[in-house]
Amino acid sequence: MMAPPLHGSAAGRQDVAMDSSGWDRRYGGSELVWSAEPNRFLAAEAGGLAVGRALDLACGEGRNAVWLAQQGWEVTGVDFSQVGLDKARRLAEQRAVSVQWLLADLVDYLPPPAAFDFVAILYLHIAGGAMRDVLRRATAALAPDGTLLVVGHDPTNIQEGYGGPQDPAILLAPDEIAEALAGLEIERAERVRRPVPSAGEDVYAIDALVRAVRPR
Ligand SMILES: C[S@@+](CC[C@H](N)C(=O)[O-])C[C@H]1O[C@@H](n2cnc3c(N)ncnc32)[C@H](O)[C@@H]1O
């Protein structure tokens, strides 16, 4: 049986940002908490890019990193949950692809500068200042022409959407994400709706999506 499609407990909700041991517990079951398939926005936004080196920050159980590797990307996935990374490694083995998995806290992880053609950050929710620092370091990790994709639960999701964190202090709107990406060209910064199956019907979560490119 699949776990709830979004964070947390009842109705897929998560009330606070979790530390690494919280995520280890969350990932502790034998089933995947998320899915084995990539996030729909990642597949849509990365699908048309020329492959190269990719960095997946907060890679969790590896669904997005593994999909990128299947498309031919040379992928590094970073997360602070060892249990999540163990599941990611197993998924990569099942799909017969190679990914470099790194255990690190993104609050102080420094990716190599100008090294990646694609950087993805999906559903990483940490308190505002720390999140902006992660976004700045992700920006610095982009090679010229490299693309950054940030997708997360939008603040309006709390009232108008479904599931996800319920603490507005850890949610950023598209324009707030874009503001933290100094030096990049913003190609998309918008709210997007994501269908989530719930009790036999689709309900909609509201995500913030930003896609930006480092000019040459
Ligand atoms: C909602 S999951 C998303 C996982 C993955 N991006 C996906 O879309 O399937 C959030 C992930 O962020 C990771 N995470 C949260 N805070 C982190 C931090 N400070 N450093 C590294 N990873 C963190 C968690 O361990 C978890 O795997």
The CA 60 to ligand 1 mean position distance, Å, reads: 5
CB 124 within 8 Å of CB 131:
yes
Please report, for the domain that includes residue 187, its CATH number: 3.40.50.150
What is the span of the domain harbouring residue 206? 18-213
Q: Is residue 57 part of a domain?
A: yes
Q: How many domains does the chain have?
A: 1
Q: Dump strand ranges (E) for the chain.
A: 13-14, 53-57, 74-79, 99-103, 116-122, 142-153, 164-165, 185-198, 201-213
Give CA–CA dist 99/25, Å, rounded: 23
What secondary structure letter does DSSP report for 12? G
Question: Is 107 a pocket residue for ligand 1 (Cβ < 6 Å)?
Answer: yes
Give CA–CA dist 144/78, Å, rounded: 22
Confidence (pLDDT) at 162: 94
Task: Summarize pLDDT for 128-178 with one digit per residue, the tens.
Answer: 799 999 999 999 999 999 999 999 999 999 999 999 999 999 999 999 999
Give CA–CA dist 16/131, Å, rounded: 14
Q: Is residue 128 part of a domain?
A: yes
The CA 180 to ligand 1 mean position distance, Å, reads: 19
Question: Is 157 a pocket residue for ligand 1 (Cβ < 6 Å)?
Answer: no
Confidence (pLDDT) at 29: 86
Number of H helices, E strands in the chain: 7, 9
Q: For the whole model, what pTM was predicted?
A: 0.93
Question: Is 101 a pocket residue for ligand 1 (Cβ < 6 Å)?
Answer: no
Q: Looking at residues 177-193, what average pLDDT do you find?
A: 97
The CA 164 to ligand 1 mean position distance, Å, reads: 13
